[in-house]
Amino acid sequence: MLPTLRYIRLPALLLTLVVAQRAVAQVAVRGDVIHTMAGPPIRNGVVVIQDGKIIAVGPADTVTIPSGFRVLQAKVVTPGLIDAHSTVGLSGILNQKQDQDQLERSAPIQPELRAIDAYNAHDKLITWVRNFGITTLHTGHAPGELISGQTCIVKTTGNTIEAAVVVETAMIAATLSERARKTEKGKSPGTRGKMMALLRAKFIKAREYKKKLATAKEDKKPARDLALEALVRVLDGELPILITAHRAQDIASALRFAEEFGLRLILDGAAEGYMLTDRIKAAGVPVIVHPPMVRAYGEMKNMTFENAARLHAAGIEIAMQSGYESYVPKTRVVLFEAAQTAANGLTFEQALATITSGAAKILGIDDRVGTLEVGKDGDVALYDGDPFEYTSHCVGVIINGEVVSDEPH
Amino acid sequence: MQRSLIVSVAMLVGGCVTASAQDRPIAFIGARVIPIDGEEIPNGVLVVSGGKITGVGKAGAVQIPAGAERVDVSGKVVMPGLVDTHSHIGGFGGADGSAPIQPDVRIYDSLNVHSSGFRRARAGGLTTLNIMPGSGHLLSGQTVYVKLREARTIDDMFIFDGDGKIMGGIKMANGTNSHRKPPFPGTRGKSAALIRAQYIKAQEYRDKIARAKDDPEKMPDRDLGLEALVEVLEGKRMVHHHTHRHDDIMTVLRLAKEFGFRVVLHHVSEGWKVADEIAKAGVPCSVIMIDSPGGKLEAAELAFETGGILEKAGVLVAYHTDDWITDSRVFFRSAALGARGGLSRAGALASLTLAGAKMLDLEDRIGSLTVGKDADFIILDGDPLSVYAKVLETWIDGKKVFDRSDPEDRLHAVGGFGAGDDLRPYLCCMDHQEDQ
Cross-chain Cβ contact B340/A125 below 8 Å: no
**Which of B135, B292, B417 should we substitute to test contact with A (largest number of A Cβ atoms within 10 Å)?**
B292
- The minimal CB distance from A343 to the residues B291, B295, B387 is found for B387
Q: In whole angstroms, what is the distance from residue B312 CA to residue A263 CA?
A: 57
| Residue B240 contacts residue B130 (beta carbons within 8 Å) | yes
Residues linked to residue B77 through DSSP beta bridges, in sequence order: B32, B380
Q: Is B395 helix (H, G, I), strand (E, B) or coil?
A: strand
Q: Determine the 3-state secondary structure of B152 from DSSP.
A: coil
Q: Per-residue pLDDT tens for A272-326?
A: 999 999 999 999 999 999 999 999 988 999 999 999 999 999 999 999 999 999 9
Interchain pair A329, B301: CB under 8 A: no
Burial of A20 per CB tally in 10 Å (0-12, 13-18, 19+):
middle
Q: Would you state the pLDDT for residue A19?
A: 43
Alpha helices in A23-155 (DSSP H): 124-130
> For residue B340, which residues of chain A lie inside 8 Å, CB to CB?
390-393
CATH number of B82-359: 3.20.20.140
Mean pLDDT of B335-354: 98
> A82-369 is classed in which CATH architecture?
Alpha-Beta Barrel (3.20)
What pLDDT is attached to residue B93?
Answer: 76
Residues B293, A389: C-beta atoms closer than 8 Å: no
Mean pLDDT of B257-267: 98
Neighbours of B217 (CB within 10 A): 5
What's the DSSP call for residue B166?
A: B
Q: Cβ–Cβ contacts within 10 Å for residue B92, how many?
A: 14
Chain A residue at shortest CA distance from B333: A390
Q: Residue A293 and residue A339: Cα distance in Å, rounded?
A: 10
Predicted pLDDT at A92: 97
Q: Are A291 and A332 in contact (CB under 8 A)?
A: yes
Assembly ipTM: 0.93
The predicted structure's pLDDT at residue B285: 98
Interface contact A360, partner B, CB < 8 A: no
- Decide: B53 and B44 in contact? Cβ < 8 Å: no
Q: Tell me, what's the pLDDT at B436?
A: 32
- The residue-averaged pLDDT of B394-401 equals 98
Determine, for residues A330 and B309 on separate chains, whether the beta-carbon distance falls below 8 Å.
no
- pLDDT tens-place string over residues B113-134: 999 999 999 999 999 999 999 8
Q: Is B236 exposed, middle or buried (CB count within 10 Å of its CB: 0-12, 13-18, 19+)?
A: middle
B333:A389 CB<8 A: no
In chain B, the largest separation of any two C-alpha atoms, in whole Å, equals 69
What pLDDT is attached to residue B425?
Answer: 52
Q: Among the CATH numbers 3.20.20.540, 2.30.40.10, 3.40.30.10, 3.30.559.10, which is that of B2-80+374-435?
A: 2.30.40.10
- CB contact under 8 Å between B292 and A305, yes or no, is no
- Name the band, by pLDDT with cuts 50, 70 and 90, for residue B23: confident
Q: What are phi and psi of A350, to 5 degrees?
A: -65, -40
Q: Where exactly does CATH 2.30.40.10 map onto chain B?
A: 2-80+374-435
Residue B45 and residue B64: Cα distance in Å, rounded?
A: 9
- Across the interface, do A4 and B273 touch by the CB < 8 Å criterion? yes
Mutate to test the interface with A, among B269, B291, B349 (most CBs of A within 10 A): B291
Say which of B293, B327, B416 has its CB closest to residue A128: B293
The count of C-alpha atoms lying within 13 angstroms of the C-alpha of B161, restricted to the half-sphere facing its C-beta, is 13
- Predicted confidence band at B91 (pLDDT cuts at 50, 70, 90)? confident
Residue of A nearest to B326 (CA): A295
Asked if A141 and A90 touch (Cβ cutoff 8 Å), the reply is: yes
pLDDT over 90 at B297, yes or no: yes
Q: What distance in Å separates residue B137's CA from the closest CA in chain A? A: 18
Give dist(CA B419, CA A301) in Å, integer.
Answer: 7
Cα gap B178→B184, rounded to integer Å: 7
> What pLDDT is recorded for position B428?
46
How far apart are the C-alpha atoms of A320 and B5, rounded to whole Å? 41
Burial A364-395, CB ≥16 within 10 A → b, else e: bbbebbbbbeeebbbbbbbbbebbbbbbbbbb
DSSP B271: G
Is a pLDDT exceeding 70 seen at residue B426? no
Residue of A88, A390, A407 to mutate, interface with B, max B Cβ within 10 Å = A390
Q: Do the chains contact at B300 and A94, CB–CB below 8 Å?
A: yes
Q: Which of the four pLDDT bands, split at 50, 70 and 90, describes residue B424?
A: low
Give the dihedral of Cα atoms B91, B97, B103, B108; nearest 10 deg.
-20
Cis peptide before A189 (omega within 30 of 0): yes
Kindly list the residues from chain A whose CB atom is less than 8 angstroms away from the CB atom of residue B291: 329, 331-333, 336
Would you state the pLDDT for residue A89?
Answer: 98
- CB neighbours of A382 closer than 8 A, spacing ≥ 6? A29, A31, A72, A73, A74, A76, A77, A133, A394, A395, A396, A397, A398
Asked if residue B273 has pLDDT above 70, the reply is yes
pLDDT band at B22 (very low <50, low <70, confident <90, very high): low
How many other C-beta atoms lie within 10 A of the C-beta of residue B33?
A: 27
- Among A276-285, B84-93, B219-228, the least confident range: B84-93
Distance (Å, whole) CA A150 – CA B364: 58
Q: Where would I find the H helices in A50-173? A: 124-130, 161-164
- Whether A316 and A286 have beta carbons less than 8 Å apart is answered as yes
Chain A residue numbers with beta carbons less than 8 Å from the beta carbon of B338 are none
| Cβ <8 Å between B296 and A95 | yes
pLDDT in tens, B130-168: 999 988 999 999 999 999 999 999 999 999 999 999 999
Comparing alpha-carbon positions, the chain A residue that sits nearest to B382 is A343
* Segments of chain B assigned to CATH 3.20.20.140: 82-359
Tell whether the model's pLDDT for residue B15 goes beyond 50: no
Q: Contact B291/A336, CB-based, under 8 Å?
A: yes
Q: Which residue of A has its CA nearest to B273?
A: A4
* Of B293, B305, B327, Cβ closest to residue A93: B293
Whole-number Å distance between alpha carbons of B145 and B130:
4
Distance CA B84, CA B327 (A): 11
User: Quick one: A3-79+395-405 is in which CATH superfamily?
Assistant: Urease, subunit C, domain 1 (2.30.40.10)
Residues of chain A with confidence (pLDDT) below 50: 1-24
**How confident is the model over B308-338, as pLDDT tens digits?**
999 999 999 999 999 989 999 999 999 999 9
Q: Is the dihedral of CA B312, B318, B324, B327 positive or negative?
A: positive
Query: Where in chain A are the domains?
Result: 3-79+395-405, 82-369
A305 to chain B: closest CA residue: B414
Size of interface A-B (CB pairs under 8 A): 125
A321, A328, A388, best to mutate vs chain B, most B CBs in 10 Å = A328
DSSP B422: P
Q: Which of residues 126-145 of A touch B (CB under 8 A)?
A: 128-129
Chain B residues touching chain A at CB-CB below 8 Å = 120, 272-273, 290-297, 299-301, 303, 305, 309, 324-327, 330, 332-333, 336-337, 339-340, 342, 385-388, 390, 414-421
Where do the H-state alpha helices sit in A262-368? 277-283, 307-313, 334-342, 348-353, 357-363
Nearest CA in chain B to A100: B295
Q: What are phi and psi of B224, to 5 degrees?
A: -60, -40
